[in-house]
Structure 1
Amino acid sequence: MEVLARAHASHSPAHCLCRSDRELPLYVTKRQSGFVLARWPGSGAQHDTRCDHYDAPDDLTGLGQVQGNAVKDDPETGDVHLKLAFPLKRGAARAAPAAITNDTPALKHNGRKLSMRGLLHILWNKAELTHWYPRMSGKRNWFIVRRELLEAAENCFAKGAALGPRLFVPEKFRFDDRTGIAGRRHTALTPARLSPDTMMIVVGEVKTIGESRYGEAIGLKHLADWPLYMDIDTAKRFHRRFAAEEHLWRSSAEDEGHLILAASFSLRQSGAAEMFDIALMPVTREWLPYENAIERELLRVAVSDRRSFVKGLRVDLNASRPIANITLTDTDPQAVAVNLVTEDDTDAAEAARAVLIATAGVDHCSWRPGMPLPGPRTTERQTATITEPFDPASFDQFARPALVM
């Protein structure tokens, strides 16, 4: 289909038709897999919940803390400028791995810069891997996750340069293409190979965590021949910092979820990768992030009930601050933010949740295991279509993302 390509070349305007009471602009952007219609920054919560462009209000999650500070959208170009709390250059101060990630993100960064976990959450959200619809069941795999992450990073900039060339996401291993995969990996690692001081960021699924000759190594799925190394001190801090995430991963069945790693790294002279800032993120079999067993149960219930929702992410918000764990988008008259309640909640936690529940634009409900979720709407989710023939003068006929392969 050449419609979006022509619209992109002619800078034709577009508007979403999901609501008749307001004008919601869209724009055409080019990605690796083709052209796509995208919503303007900050407009997600204004779309109808049935619309593919809908997104939960930023103030319900940690996105509200960093938006406009560590994350700045350019409405003219669609570019996203990120401020990182970790370096992408290895200087004298980084002669040995010194940082795992931010232990107290709200206090250390306060929304002004992104930790490694914050960057991972931003990319996951921008890739819309936080969105779930029943039609996705059985269709989201590593090929899809990798493609969406790379496309999400395409128009991101950090440290004065494009983030895309610094992001390495391993492709799905195929034995019959092992030589081609090795060659493409060699090319992708060019920035780190050309200079030992250049650091890149890897995002992949953890397969093994074990001992190595001088410390420990993490093996990523699809990268059996390329482990990522930690020295002994770094490994000790790694296990102390990510004890909960490791336990969630090890205690779940192999087909019940995944453990995602994001880390900055540089290459030694031998070609081995040495990690610096690290973050771990458990995800379900649907690749939806979760923080604890109760939140994992909430996601299981929502998926098994065939609900449509957006998963809230903490980004760099402190663990003591509540977020909307999911926002149901298949409810009437508006979306419903679901907030987890536990027996261990303190008075301070309840007070903070009361402030969160006052967020306008959505309804709110509390949930604990065993409780039902608010019922879905009775009508089917609306899907707009593209009308031919194409007329650049009336490009606002498009109402949802479309992809040209």
Structure 2
Amino acid sequence: MPDVSFSGERVALSELQERPARYARALERAKVTPGYALCHCNHDRPRRLVIRRYGSMFHLAGWPDDGEHHARGCDFRKDSGGGRPSPGSDATAAIINAQDGLNVHLDAALFQRDATPGTRKRTNATSTRPTRRRAPLLAFLQTLWLSAGLTSWPGTSMARGWGAVNAMLLAGLGADAKINGTPADEVLHVMRRYEESERKAINAEFDSFLARITNDGSVSRRALIVGELGEVADTPYGKSITLRQRRQKYFATAELTGHAAKAYAHAWRAIGDASARVIALLLVERTAKGHLRVVDLAAMLCSSTFLPCDSIHEVAMANRLAVERRAFEKPIRMADGDDMLPDFVLLDRPTVHIEVYGMNGLASYERRKAQKQALRTARGIPAVEWNVDREPLERVALPPAFART
């Protein structure tokens, strides 16, 4: 991971990502003068970086249209295409990747007037303008991962911590992201990596955000929180949810968590599994007694390096690829049009698909498998196939990576 410099300081990017509170003042000064930071991934040609504020902290993002000039493996590297969402012209889309950041129209109310806590209220105002579609929470969570570049692995390291995930998510949001018409930093909090030495600053930032979640009996202001799911526990009145980054309890009904266990079955079963990560996007409101209650949620299964996966078997494959320092990506279908969508694609050699077959014998699954195999054969795309009930993962042969240049 490269070094970055600002305000006369030069530190490893990983150090900044893990301890953003420590460098907040220096980044604030650099944002004023000279107005940018530098990335030293190319030692003889440092590249400018944008300094952005989100809440009370600062983070770095790539300079516009400069991503291809960063070294391969650098977090700020962006190849053309790059697997990230590209700006669209559909004004009715639920999620628009605008030049100044994501513009999201959620299928969830962040502000309610005269509404009973725990309910969702829609308005049916008449308008001549085209009606925007609405995105479910899972689609928004997947878009966050895609925009951040967290669906690909550069193959240059074996680990990615929550500090890096936090920084990449904030950079992927863009400079002027909006959610339901409101600036993202007012309604969305991406949990910080906990650091004892910066506990006061991190807690102060989070407490300031939580203070925006209010309910005076007639108006309820909700908010969204992204973090790694740590525990779902029983309470006398239902369930409590805890994120790994802070031991704050968010209360939920057994009905909501029961629905989540079915809707996000692979993720829910992996809670507590040391080989996997489970990411949660919580829609939270304040109860009349001041407690934080989860109104809705989405859960996403990830590998140990936070790449999204569709099953625990995919987690195992992604973990192996990361350990072996392979460059690869996890395609995510965000719209119709992809007739193949492999489980993974190797990036360190000409296109090779990786398929993980974990539902062998199911008729519809076997039909889809045969269709994809026929398409790859017709297009001349080589594939690595792992039948999880026939051979252990360590026996699956992977093609060697090409030498890095």
Q: Flag whether TM exceeds 0.5 (same fold).
A: yes
Counterpart selection for 2:246 from 209, 223, 238: 223
Counterpart selection for 2:282 from 253, 263, 266: 263
Per the alignment, residue 143 of structure 2 pairs with 122
Describe the shift of the 1:122–1:178 C-alpha distance in structure 2 as closer, same or farther (beyond 3 A). Answer: same
SS in structure 1 at match of 2:112: coil
SS in structure 1 at match of 2:315: helix
CA distance in 2: counterparts of 1:321 and 1:98, whole angstroms = 35
Counterpart selection for 2:354 from 321, 328, 338: 338
Q: CA deviation at 1:126?
A: 1.4
Per the alignment, residue 18 of structure 2 pairs with none
CA distance in 2: counterparts of 1:294 and 1:71, whole angstroms = 30
Describe the shift of the 1:119–1:39 C-alpha distance in structure 2 as closer, same or farther (beyond 3 A). Answer: farther
SS in structure 1 at match of 2:348: coil
Per the alignment, residue 318 of structure 2 pairs with 299
Mapped pair 1:71 → 2:95: yes
Q: CA deviation at 1:192?
A: 1.6
Mapped pair 1:233 → 2:255: yes
Question: Residue type of the partner of 2:315?
Answer: R
Mapped pair 1:37 → 2:63: yes
CA distance in 2: counterparts of 1:34 and 1:215, whole angstroms = 41
Identity in percent: 16
Contact 1:56 1:327 in 2 (8 A): no
CA distance in 1: counterparts of 2:221 and 2:136, whole angstroms = 18
Q: CA deviation at 1:122?
A: 0.8
Describe the shift of the 1:363–1:5 C-alpha distance in structure 2 as closer, same or farther (beyond 3 A). Answer: farther
1:86-235 equivalences in 2 (<5 Å): 86-91=108-113, 95-97=117-119, 112-138=133-159, 140-155=160-175, 156-193=177-214, 197-224=220-247, 226-235=248-257
Q: Deviations over 1:305-345 (max 9, x none)?
A: 22111222345889x9852322222114xx43434445343
Q: Deviations over 1:164-183 (max 9, x none)?
A: 32111222334454444332
Q: CA deviation at 1:215?
A: 0.8
Per the alignment, residue 43 of structure 2 pairs with none
1:326-405 equivalences in 2 (<5 Å): 326-332=344-350, 335-341=351-357, 343-344=360-361, 345-351=365-371, 363=381, 365-369=383-387, 370-378=395-403, 380-381=404-405
SS in structure 1 at match of 2:186: helix
CA distance in 1: counterparts of 2:89 and 2:396, whole angstroms = 33
Q: CA deviation at 1:84?
A: 2.0
CA distance in 1: counterparts of 2:242 and 2:62, whole angstroms = 34
Moved over 6 A (4+): 2-10, 47-51, 356-359
Describe the shift of the 1:190–1:367 C-alpha distance in structure 2 as closer, same or farther (beyond 3 A). Answer: same
Mapped pair 1:275 → 2:300: no
CA distance in 2: counterparts of 1:7 and 1:314, whole angstroms = 42
CA distance in 2: counterparts of 1:182 and 1:259, whole angstroms = 23
CA distance in 2: counterparts of 1:175 and 1:6, whole angstroms = 29
1:47-86 equivalences in 2 (<5 Å): 52-54=77-79, 68=90, 69-74=93-98, 77-86=99-108
Question: Residue type of the partner of 1:376?
Answer: A
CA distance in 2: counterparts of 1:112 and 1:161, whole angstroms = 17
CA distance in 1: counterparts of 2:33 and 2:329, whole angstroms = 30
Q: CA deviation at 1:131?
A: 2.2
TM-score, length basis structure 1: 0.68
SS in structure 2 at match of 1:285: coil
SS in structure 2 at match of 1:191: coil
Contact 2:194 2:246 in 1 (8 A): yes
CA distance in 2: counterparts of 1:171 and 1:53, whole angstroms = 25
Moved more, 202-211 or 171-180: 171-180
CA distance in 1: counterparts of 2:96 and 2:191, whole angstroms = 28
Q: CA deviation at 1:57?
A: 6.9
CA distance in 2: counterparts of 1:348 and 1:336, whole angstroms = 19
Per the alignment, residue 290 of structure 1 pairs with 309
Describe the shift of the 1:325–1:112 C-alpha distance in structure 2 as closer, same or farther (beyond 3 A). Answer: farther
Higher relative contact order (CA 8 A, sep 6+): 1
* Structure 2 unaligned blocks of 5 or more: 8-29, 37-46, 53-57, 122-131, 388-394
Per the alignment, residue 15 of structure 1 pairs with none
Q: CA deviation at 1:203?
A: 0.7
Describe the shift of the 1:241–1:30 C-alpha distance in structure 2 as closer, same or farther (beyond 3 A). Answer: same
Describe the shift of the 1:49–1:94 C-alpha distance in structure 2 as closer, same or farther (beyond 3 A). Answer: farther
Moved more, 186-195 or 264-273: 186-195
Q: CA deviation at 1:348?
A: 4.2
Describe the shift of the 1:173–1:341 C-alpha distance in structure 2 as closer, same or farther (beyond 3 A). Answer: closer
Describe the shift of the 1:323–1:48 C-alpha distance in structure 2 as closer, same or farther (beyond 3 A). Answer: farther
Describe the shift of the 1:49–1:180 C-alpha distance in structure 2 as closer, same or farther (beyond 3 A). Answer: closer
